[in-house]
Structure 1
Amino acid sequence: MQQLMQASNGLSLGKFSFQGHNPSWRFRSTPATERALQYQAGQKIHGFTVKEVVDVPDLFLTAVKLTHDNTGAQYLHAARDDKNNLFSVQLRTTPMDNTGVPHILEHTVLCGSEKYPCRDPFFKMLNRSLSTFMNAFTASDFTMYPFSTQNGKDFQNLLSVYLDAVFFPCLGELDFRQEGWRLENENPTDPSSPLVFKGVVFNEMKGAFSDNEQVYAQHLQNKLYPDHTYGVVSGGEPLAIPDLSWEQLKHFHATHYHPSNARFFTYGDLPLEQHLKQIHEEALSKFERTEPDTAVPNQVHWDRPREDHVTCSPDVMAPDAAKQNTLCMSYLLGDITDTFEGFTLSLMSSLMISGPNAPFYKALIEPKIGTDFSSVVGTKEASFSIGLQGMAEEDTEKVKQIIIQTFDEIIANGFEEERIEALLHKIEIQMKHQSTSFGLSLASYIASCWNHDGDPVHLLKICDSVTQFRQALKDNPRFLQEKVVHYFKDNTHRLTLSMSPDEAYLEKQVKAEEEKLQKKIQALSESDKKDIYEKGLELLSIQSQTQDASCLPALNVSDIEPTIAVTHVEMGTAGGVPVQYCEQPTNGMVYFRAMCSLNSLPEDLKLYVPLFCSVITKMGCGGLDYRQQDQQMELKTGGMSISTSVNPDYSNMDMYEQGVLLSSSCLERNLPDMFHLWSDIFNSPHFDDEERLRVLVMMSAQELANGISNSGHMYAMTRAARNLTPTGELQETFGGMEQVKFMKRVAEMPDLTQVLRTLPRIKRHILNPLNMRCAVNATPQKMSNAAGHIIPCDILIRAHRNLVKRSPNFKPCQMKTFFTMPFPINFVSECIRTVPFTHEDCASLNILARMMTSKYLHGEIREKGGAYGGGARMGGGLFTFYSYRDPNTVQTLSAFRKGVDWAISGQFTQQDINEAKLSVFSAVDSPVAPSDKGMGRFLSGITDELKQAHRERLFAVTDKNIVDVAGRYLGIGQRTCGVAILGPENDIIKKDPSWVVK
């Protein structure tokens, strides 16, 4: 489950992220929307009354608002011709202390319910369904439970489990102890071992607060809105979590998890009536209306600005060790239920801070005072935060002055009309772009506004807001400047929050936890300690039992489609360059990709490739400086990017393709402009501005450093794979800890002249039309037009060559690496070399990874070990174990090995295999957006025929196959493996000479 610092806003209007799409690929009213338009206000359906029916042509949907007659539960249905149907129920949860009660409750309700009393039905349903998404989220003021699936029967199964979990959970004491917190003997079977704090959420939040950005964002919210629920940590402050009792948890559920406090949302092409009938009969009919006291009052506005200071842990990966301070000015704005005002504020936010043409970018980032903007948060009342991270302490006053001066300059000068047009163009593109998870984006987008009784339908009428915005600017050219005066210049509710590193921060945290622990222990009697020991044994016993999940609904393997849907592509050439054409109804968008080989690039330049990719579209090109280039990209495209791409050969693990992938999209009318920009980037990129390069280097290094605490498991997996395949070695170079450390070294260079000289050398090897291929996805009527623009584009003029490279000298070898990090938790991975995609054993290893995750590793690593997550996966010829936010290291590595022993011993059933197959197929058959159709073939050469052959091997996997591959590839003496851990100082590993400690 995911704990959110604040409510996420899905539609990208400024800082938000929205992807609209029309998955039916039709441009007229669809059956689902037509069906919904038949409903009438006042109509009664299965205990609900229709309140409003609204056609929303901007998003190709019909919105139906209803209210449940008995309970007053609110309901919104978005009918759309999309097979990826979504359900969510959200409850306004407003904690008044730091114990993390809504977060722990979110975990605990998913541990069994009246109708489904088996342990952990939520995780078990991951293997009994073809869901495309299952999760739960705790925000500052609501908790949401969403799922999506393309299968109607599956939808009903999951809906039944979710309804029972939310409204009729068991909330057992042992579940609370496992998921929330508990005092327990370090070794539960040894009463003489010391008592320690354990618990999944306890460890998760320790991990969350090892991220300095999250520490800062949490303090910012708590201090800007100090008077009510936003003044506390909804996810739980680690040292306050042990103050929560089981009784308090049950009371919070009784008061907050009632249908009268609920908002239901469904989306897709399944009939509304069936949803309403099931929700009424299985849940809502069993309740009467209450008046839950969960409303959040507006924060009392201050009559004068405030300042505050907090500390954090030093960042060993910071680009500049002397610049680790953060400062932010945060302003309380307006109520988020005012739709147009919210739209205006989000546009204004983007105009002020997004991209090199934004006033704050020019004022704060480019003078190199700091490395990146600091956090932005949002709640019932919107806020705007502007500031810097990665700055020197002595620059604090300077930054404050710059922020105030920049607002004055905006008020005086306003915003260029072209920048406003670029932003509105971005909204047009986002509404046309088709994503595979539009239902989830929609649920996230409306959540905050709806949570505080705003109108979610009004929020969806984006074109109305755009029209109103254009009219407001026409009526008053100073419209935006006046908003800046009101919300910033004259706003006395302003918090200036600074944060600096404290060398003793971690030490103080450890000491505070130890003091809390000792205080708890000192209050215990001998009988209390005996009770703790017995409860520890009881929990361990339950965790070790094989659970009977037969009460849970499940799909069968026979419910899986036997064949894949074929994606038609055509191969052609443009100016001698191979081009893959994939005709798709893309809502008037054109998607272009090109793969350029790295085969001729000298080894000494490899480490620089990710930096090259990140700066090549941001330095200027042709007759455009970098500001003009950015403006043209915003005005004419949906984005242009270059990224590294390393793809293992599907049949030989020592062969691979190394390259960079060019990606861009545009509206059909802007096709010539997009290709002209690419042509300038290829032919005349600018590599002459050291000041600009330094800004980009510092931002990139800061982003990499910030990402480790959230993605430590990915870094551990990448490192563990480093010495096993040529692909693994390259991926560590391009995106692993090696790249993080390299970028830190570059950021520390006093002179970047040598880097500037290196970039053109890389460009000559990479942006070379000799070794290149392209792919275009567009509507049929525009495909020939797209091809016509590729041909004259002078970058695409040469013949294609074989891009696959063999590594004849690569020798896999064992390696164990430990990265000492300033975290209180670990990220652990072990990686084993196995077989490529087309090998007959690949399917069995895939099924084994899913089965081992759900039937063994989840119990050992999460339930017993207290890690936030862990499991196994198969891909790229590697079988990889991992754990996430894990209090253990050696114990987890032991669990990996015992998982292999478990598989070899065959301690699983045919039902276990069937469930693993369902889980694998839910990923294999996940929906693909029109923009991405055919991309698997383009990037890796895996055709539909190869996919179908792999599919048939997956269906055919038996228990004998699984036992066989577990022993043959993963058994002791059989495997070539790599191990990597990121975590705090570890004396056991330090003393072990087999480990390389970094």
Structure 2
Amino acid sequence: MDLKVGNSYNGFTLKEERTVKEVAAVAYIFEHDKTKAKLIKLSSKDDNKVFAIGFRTPPNNSTGVAHILEHSVLCGSRKFNTKEPFVELIKGSLNTFLNALTYPDKTIYPIASRNEKDFFNLMDVYLDAVLYPNIYKQEEIFMQEGWNYKLETKEDELKYNGVVYSEMKGAYSSPDGSIYRYIPNVTLPDTQYANDSGGDPECIPDLTYDEFLDFHKKYYHPSNSYIYLYGNGDLEKELKFINDNYLKDFDYRKVDSQILEQKSFTELHEAEFTYGIAKDEDEKEKTYLNLNFLVDKATNTELSYAMEILTHMLLKTSGAPLKKALLDKGIAKAVSGEFDSSIQQTMLSIIAKNSDPDKKDEFKSTIYEVLNELATKGIDKEAIEASVNKVEFTLREADYYGFPKGLVYYTNILESYLYGGDPLAHLQYDAVLDKIKSEMFNGYFENIIKEHLLNNDHVSLITMKPNKGLVEEKEAVLKEKLNKIKQSFKDEELNNIIEKGKRLLERQNTPDSKEQLASIPKLSLEDINPKGETIPTEVRNIEDTKVIYHEFNTNKIVYSNLYFNSKVIAKEKVSYLRLLGDVLGKIDTERYDYVKLSNIVNINIGEVSYLPVAYNDYAKGEEFKAFFAVKFKSLLSNTDKALEIISEILNHTKFSDVKRLKQVVDEVKSRTETMIMQSGHMVAYRRLLSYMSARGLYDEKLYGLSYYKFICELSNKLSENPEAVVKELEEIVSKLFLSDNLLISFAGESEDYETFKNDINKFKLTLKKGKGEENKYDFEVTPLNEGLLTQAEVNYVGKGGMFSRDKYNGSLNVLDTILSYDYLWNNVRVKGGAYGVFSLFRRDGSGAFLSYRDPNVEKTLGVYDNIPAYLDEFKAEREDIIRYIIGTIRKVDHPYSNDDKLNVGDANYLSGITDEMIQKEREEIIATDENAIKQLKVLMQDILDENYICAIGNENKIKSEGNFKQLVRVKE
């Protein structure tokens, strides 16, 4: 399509065309003729096409209206009149991404697919959803997704329920999540950012249905939209579809979505908040301290990138000066920092965790002391170079939390475009980075510290203290509030609430009609490639060392994993393997102190991690392989230096620096506590697997609650008997890092492999000779069936069991789709109010059902137990089964990054999963029919009969519900 600036194409006038070499794309910037909607197409060779429509949605309160609306518009629309088109698409689309996201000032609806037909189907559903939702016809959508009064009879206790209500109760249960919600409230008090667009659970029930509708009427108009297209799709066809089916029917409207600008403070603003801990929990070292600097407008692109680099320099490496000073002084056990460029006025936030209130002044003064010293004496040049290199490497990879690259680019565009700036400013970073590099050793970052931090009066200081019994107190207050509300209602009002609840339940229980389901666009089995994609894998040798080689283009970046057989370590010591992974690279070595080490790593290595991994050995039944993996990626030209640094870390780390070792352990403890609160479903899942198999128990000792308990004990041990810990680590290193104990994997092209061979041979010469004696990992498995007690206001509920491995087949994957997005979704999420729920069936014979941010325990376990009865009654038309099959293939065919390809290819090889096995599973998926699903009833019953249960969450709820053999307090 030959385009000319100034011409109109299918209702859109081309305003600008620009080549963006950084992302290998040509950008076409359009404005819609009738509505003035903004549209950008990044045209590239990428077949993973992305579409998104976003709206500027600044909230005026903390009722979560933007968030509730994000959920609700996907619950049926004009053309797609099912209860949840979003879920139907997940069940029956080949999408590679499908979601909706609420930010503090915008709401976006992105989709991605590699299949053109599917791509247009998804666009159609999403555009209809945001512009013509069913929310105006069905108040029950608002009640289900937002909040409602739960009351079945007049005698019942009045309660709140709702998906977003439960989700945000979970979000506010995490102190880490809470501190980030308080930061804009204190730092930007006169703007919409002072409100929580996600919703404060205490405020969500203040939102009325009319206010909810008014928010949509105001903001969800094409004139307030930012539309985005990415990939190798046909631009003319895409523009025509968007205009002819949607935008042509709207006229221009002036939408007041202005985001207020915060006037600068003239003095420090302070605030204090609390969060809940158990009544018998120690308050010592549980306080969060936080200092924030408002920096500048997001449209100042150069400063945004410079601040991103400076934040990395100051706070994100092991030897980062601000982090180091706060830890060395004992002000906190963990320090983190973020530069937020996703809001109109950018902000640097510094957070110290596991501190005490009386250290607040020292926290603040230490930050200013360090900044003053850096500004006057200068920043270490290696530290500057390291951070510049690290940020640039991350930018060029554009690998962000599983988002497709095209979506990453859209969020980058909005960081300027939403605030009236150049939409491509955050994508065309070469010139900015070149300028920064040319000035970086000439006082560039020192001047930024002076101007934007030291001479900045717009600063806020937040203290968030633990409060014993706060959760119980809030529960009591809420209970009393609802009791008073109920007492204030007349009989007529109570009857109305009960009737509304019945109508909601009726809507939830009434299946979509055939006609309604037929409105959802579908693919056919012919749209599926019958042959699955495989990761090229062959076994080679570099001298006497086996290499798992994956040949594909990596653009001169080396991706490699170095596997050391970790079964040379006694099974009683396996938690030390995870500890080793947590401390390597963060402690002095013989040649470098840990500050310098961190810098040379970031200068020469794109990314490196050290961690224990395990793979089921399907050729040997219950056995599994265990390795300690060194995973790294670097520019091909830097591989020799990268391996030299890794060798220094593996062979010459000085564990005897007990003070530093203790710092690292305390940081790990703090990080693990955060993980437990934010990912309780994974804690419950790993605990369930530990009841089932030796491999499950092994993984749990490394990545589950057991490791947290181990770290807590170890922290004390380092104070009482540090020599014993040092000795354990030294012994493990002496047994582990041996040349004959090494297996290598590599991803790249043939000519890159030849270079890598020479570099790896030099590396091998630095390892001690030997192989070590392998231990038998015959862990004794015990079904503990635990209730794990926390101060969260929600729960994560799991149940599972084992089934015979020979019964595993592709139809189980289809059942997973059916359960996760039909039976479990409807009963645990829609009716139960949990934020999420899913099932998992693995090739090793483990099966599990898990809920996420769930207000219930027993009720959810009852839903799991009813799965066999559901399957007994299961009926599905052939077209429904086809939809489930397509939704399952979507998961199987998810596009991989180069890093993913390496790791998945390795896992398949090490587990003995062949291309033939993968193809057979695909064929079983495609051949699945109603009978195959019904036959899985027996297998589901076998899993549930094992009766392994584990839930983590609200202490009072778990104590009063669930048949748990043991109750375990999570925090010490």
Say if 2:130 is the partner of 1:166: yes
1:83 equivalent in structure 2: 47
**Match runs of 1:451-600 below 5 Å:** 451-473=418-440, 477-548=442-513, 549-600=517-568
Task: Give distance in 2, aligned partners of 1:356 and 1:662.
Answer: 18
Cα offset, 1:203, TM superposition: 1.0
**Partner of 1:862 in structure 2?**
829
Deviation at 1:653, TM superposition (A): 4.8
What secondary structure does 1:460 align onto? coil
For residue 883 of structure 1, report the CA deviation from its aligned partner.
0.3
The count of aligned residue pairs is 952
Partner of 1:618: 586
Give the conservation status (yes or no) of the 8 Å contact 2:57–2:257: yes
* 1:886 partner SS: coil
Q: How does 1:646-795 map to 2 (within 5 A)?
A: 646-650=614-618, 653-749=621-717, 750-751=719-720, 752-794=722-764
* Offset, 1:943: 2.5
Deviation at 1:254, TM superposition (A): 0.4
Deviates further, 635-644 or 908-917: 908-917
Q: Label 1:545 to 1:592 Cα distance change in 2 as closer, same or farther (>3 A).
A: same
Cα 1:666–1:102, aligned 2, differ >3 Å: closer, same or farther? same
Match of 2:795 in 1: 826
Partner of 2:608: 640
CA shift, 1:75, in A, is 0.9
Amino acid at match of 1:953: E
1:287 maps to 2:250: yes
Given the two structures, how large is their TM-score scaled by the length of structure 2?
0.94
Deviation at 1:457, TM superposition (A): 1.0
Code of the aligned partner of 1:357: G
The answer as to whether partners of 2:569 and 2:774 remain within 8 angstroms in 1 is no
Could you tell me how far 1:920 is from its partner in structure 2? 1.6
Residue 446 (1) aligns with residue 413 (2)? yes
Shift of 1:81: 0.9
Any idea what SS the aligned residue of 2:91 has? coil
Q: Aligned runs of 1:161-310 on 2, under 5 Å?
A: 161-171=125-135, 172-185=138-151, 188=152, 190-310=153-273
Are 1:846 and 2:808 counterparts?
no
* CA shift in 2, pair 1:300/1:992, >3 Å: closer
CA deviations on 1:628-666 (whole Å, 9 max, x unpaired) are: 221111111112211121222235551211222210111
Residue 472 to residue 434, structure 1, CA distance change in 2 (3 Å)? closer
2: CA distance, partners of 1:828 / 1:987: 12
Give the whole-Å Cα distance in 1 for the aligned partners of 2:665 and 2:184. 30
Instruction: Say whether residues 1:912 and 2:880 are aligned partners.
Output: yes
Aligned position for 1:97: 61
Query: Is the partner of 2:417 in helix, strand or coil?
Result: helix
Note if contact 1:609-1:644 (Cα within 8 Å) is conserved in structure 2: yes
**Matches of 2:384 and 2:156, distance apart in 1:** 64
In structure 2, the CA distance between the partners of 1:482 and 1:273, relative to structure 1 (3 Å rule), is same
Do the aligned partners of 2:847 and 2:943 also contact (CA within 8 Å) in 1?
no
Give the deviation of 1:788 after TM superposition.
1.6
Residues 1:973 and 1:202: Cα distance change in structure 2 (over 3 Å): closer
Q: Match of 1:112, as an amino acid?
A: G
Distance 2:538 2:552 in 1: 12
Q: CA deviation at 1:387?
A: 3.8
Aligned to 2:917: 946
Deviating more after overlay: 161-170 vs 733-742? 733-742
Residue 294 to residue 571, structure 1, CA distance change in 2 (3 Å): same
Shift of 1:542: 1.6
Q: Which runs of 5+ in 2 are unaligned?
A: none
**Corresponding position: 1:359 with 2:359:** no
Q: Residue 85 of structure 2 corresponds to which residue in structure 1?
A: 121
Q: In 1, are the aligned partners of 2:413 and 2:425 still within 8 Å (CA)?
A: no
Alpha-carbon contact 1:411-1:482 (below 8 Å) kept:
yes
What displacement does 1:697 show?
A: 0.5
Q: CA deviation at 1:934?
A: 4.8
SS of the counterpart of 1:793?
Answer: helix
Q: Could you tell me how far 1:965 is from its partner in structure 2?
A: 2.4
Q: CA deviation at 1:519?
A: 4.1
Q: CA deviation at 1:215?
A: 1.1
Give the drift of 1:910: 3.1
Distance (Å, rounded) in 1 between the aligned partners of 2:280 and 2:773: 35
Deviation of residue 145 (structure 1)?
0.6
Aligned to 1:335: 297
Relative to 1, partners in 2 of residues 1:245 and 1:992: Cα closer, same or farther, differing over 3 Å? closer
Instruction: Quote the offset at 1:459 in angstroms.
Output: 1.8
Could you report, residue by residue, the CA deviation over 1:119-166 in whole angstroms, capped at 9, with x for unpaired residues?
Answer: 011111101101111111111100011111111100000000000001
SS at structure 1 position matched to 2:227? strand
Q: Name structure 1 gaps, 5 residues minimum.
A: 1-34
The Cα shift of 1:787 comes to 1.2
Deviates more, 1:643-652 or 1:281-290: 643-652
In 2, distance between residues paired with 1:909 and 1:704?
46
Q: Deviations over 1:838-860 (max 9, x none)?
A: x4533222221211222211000
Query: CA 1:615–1:565 in 2, change beyond 3 Å: closer, same or farther?
Result: same
Pair 1:250–1:795, CA change in 2 (3 A): farther
- Equivalent-residue separation in structure 1 for 2:381 and 2:355 (angstroms): 32
More helix by share: 2
Cα separation, 1, equivalents of 2:712 and 2:237: 56
Q: Distance in 2 between matches of 1:452 and 1:847?
A: 44
1:71/1:259 contact within 8 Å kept:
yes
Counterpart check, 1:312 vs 2:312: no
The structure-2 alpha-carbon separation of the partners of 1:801 and 1:278, relative to structure 1 and needing over 3 Å to count, comes to farther
CA distance in 1: counterparts of 2:867 and 2:649, whole angstroms: 50
2-structure distance, mates of 1:813, 1:323: 34
Residue range with higher mean Cα deviation, 855-864 or 407-416: 407-416
Q: Give 1:88 deviation, angstroms.
A: 1.0
Contact preservation (8 Å) 2:690, 2:781: no
Indicate if the aligned counterparts of 2:568 and 2:772 stay in contact, CA closer than 8 A: no
Checking the alignment, whether the CA contact within 8 Å between 1:92 and 1:261 is kept in structure 2 is yes
Partners of 1:148 and 1:953 lie apart in 2 by 26
Residue aligned with 1:704, SS: helix
For residues 769 and 388 of structure 1, what CA distance do their matches in structure 2 show?
41
Match among 563, 569, 587 for residue 601 of structure 1: 569
Shift of 1:927: 0.9
| Higher mean C-alpha deviation, range 501-510 or range 138-147 | 501-510
The amino acid that maps onto 2:846 is: L
Deviation at residue 974 of structure 1 after TM alignment: 7.4
Contact 2:802 2:946 in 1 (8 A): yes
Q: Does 1:368 align with 2:330?
A: yes
Distance in 2 (alpha carbons) for counterparts of 1:824 and 1:518 = 19
Equivalent pair of 2:6/2:13 in contact (CA under 8 Å): yes
Q: Is the 8 A contact 1:989 1:995 kept in 2?
A: no
Partner of 1:881: 849
Query: Percentage identity across aligned positions?
Result: 26
Q: How many angstroms does 1:374 deviate by?
A: 4.7
Shift of 1:285: 0.9
